Amino acid sequence: MSVFAPATPFADFIYRHFRSVHALKLGLALLVAVTINAIWAPPHFIWSMVTIVVIMMSLPQVGGAIEKSLQRAIGTCLGSAYGVMLVATVDSYWLIMSLLILAVSLICFISAGRYSYAYLVSGFTIIIVVGDANHDTSEALWRTANILSGCVIAILVSLFIFPIKAKQDWRSQLTHAIDNMAEVLAQHLKAPANHDLDFRAKLEAAMKAVLTQKKLFFSLEWESKTLKKHKVLLSQLANKQVRLITLLELLPLTRWQEEDKDAYLQINAVASELAFYLQQLAEFVAGKAQQLPTLPECLEQELRHRLQLSLASATIVASTTDLDAAATDGEVPQGFALTGYSWLIYQLAIAVEALYEDIAIIEIAYNKQPASQITSGKAD
């Protein structure tokens, strides 16, 4: 099923109440751990509960919990293996501590990037296992086993008890960003000349939605093989949204004189189509439309041609005498302003088309169509 398909009522309920659901899942995971402890009472079982809280507290999504669990498990195993080896084979206290410090310092040096949490876990696991170097390896092994059991409990509860999917959160944030951008463009085009509308709140909301999308990338890779294959595309899609937001920030800064109103209205008539296309795209991403809306063939070329005609039909180029007089009086010729405004609308068209292209590729990949059918989502 496509990531843009309408969400089931159950999935929609979970997403709308994900905070309550997440708290419930964490409580259930701890209850499982407490029950195991009550039945078998393994030594140092508190580490299982600590692991559950560390993994699940800040990562409600399934993909995030899986990745953090695996990193914690790998870091625990590596750190525990090194610590047990030191305790079992080295008799000198100072030699053990020297090797411990060397290992933790090396881990600190190489710790970076996506797997930094695994390095962190490996470092403090070595310290926990070695302890005071009393050569008791059973305690270290029990702690390792309990941490691994906590990882397993966290993964199972995240997967099978009211799963909170990062895919739905990502889609919701993408919809929110596109919807805000479409609304900003539509409001600007409907506003009178030289309006003083403030779009900062909506554009900041759109930017926050883009940043949230980026935070979900790793979780998406664990939840969807299709999105994992297109992880570079996800990053490009976020960057293209940022570009569109940046262009929209320039719109309220545009100013023109009353005599140039007709020329601007002609350009805005062209730009209003972009707002319509953005709104259609937001509805598709939200699951309100079954088919990806299509764009006219060669949208940016068509808009460029129409904008050129609009500029040509408007009387915006002053005579040489008028230009000299305007320069003498310190005035800026309006021809330059209109040309710059048409360029801005043209760039918006290119950015909108780029969004369509990336979303079309993702949709076609989910439908498992041949690569030759991956187009920019335009009508034939």
Residue 297 is classified by DSSP as: T
Residue 203 phi/psi, 5-degree rounding, is: -70, -35
Per-residue b or e along 173-189, where b marks 16 or more CB atoms closer than 10 Å to that residue's CB: bbbbbbbbbbbbbbbbb
The pLDDT score that the predictor gives to residue 258 is 63
Give the whole-angstrom CA distance, residue 376 versus residue 319.
43
Distances (CA, A) of 205 to 66, 111, 208, 377: 29, 33, 5, 27
Nearest Cα to 15, choosing from 52, 61, 54?
A: 61
CB 290 within 8 A of CB 371: no
Q: Which burial class, exposed, middle or buried, applies to 375 when counting CB atoms under 10 A from its CB (0-12, 13-18, 19+)?
A: middle
Read off the tokens for 177: 């960003």
Q: At what angle do helices 116-130 and 62-89 cross, to 10 degrees?
A: 40
Question: What does the angle CA 221 – CA 224 – CA 226 come to, to the nearest 5 degrees?
Answer: 100
Q: Which residue has the tokens 């086993």?
A: 145
Give the whole-angstrom CA distance, residue 95 versus residue 99.
6
Give the whole-angstrom CA distance, residue 1 versus residue 14.
18
Q: Which residues of the chain have pLDDT under 70?
A: 135, 193-194, 255-260, 297-339, 369-380
Give the whole-angstrom CA distance, residue 65 versus residue 160.
12
Q: At what angle do helices 166-190 and 231-250 cross, to 10 degrees?
A: 20
The pLDDT score that the predictor gives to residue 302 is 66
Nearest Cα to 349, choosing from 311, 295, 308?
A: 295
CB 313 within 8 A of CB 322: no
Which contacts (CB < 8 Å, 24+ apart) does range 19-27 have?
A: 19/60, 21/60, 21/162, 21/164, 22/56, 22/60, 22/164, 24/162, 25/56, 25/60, 25/157, 25/158, 25/161, 25/162, 25/164, 26/52, 26/53, 26/56, 26/57
**pLDDT tens-digit series, residues 17-66:** 999 999 999 999 999 999 999 999 888 889 899 999 988 988 889 998 89
The pLDDT score that the predictor gives to residue 26 is 95
Provide the greatest CA pair distance for the chain.
Answer: 96
Q: Record the pTM.
A: 0.79
CB 300 within 8 A of CB 350: yes
Residue 368 is classified by DSSP as: T
Read off the tokens for 120: 């962190």
Give the whole-angstrom CA distance, residue 341 versus residue 343.
5
Residue 295 phi/psi, 5-degree rounding, is: -100, 155
Give the whole-angstrom CA distance, residue 215 versus residue 224.
16
Give the whole-angstrom CA distance, residue 5 versus residue 356.
16
Read off the tokens for 184: 């900003």
The pLDDT score that the predictor gives to residue 324 is 46
CB 51 within 8 A of CB 95: no
The pLDDT score that the predictor gives to residue 330 is 46
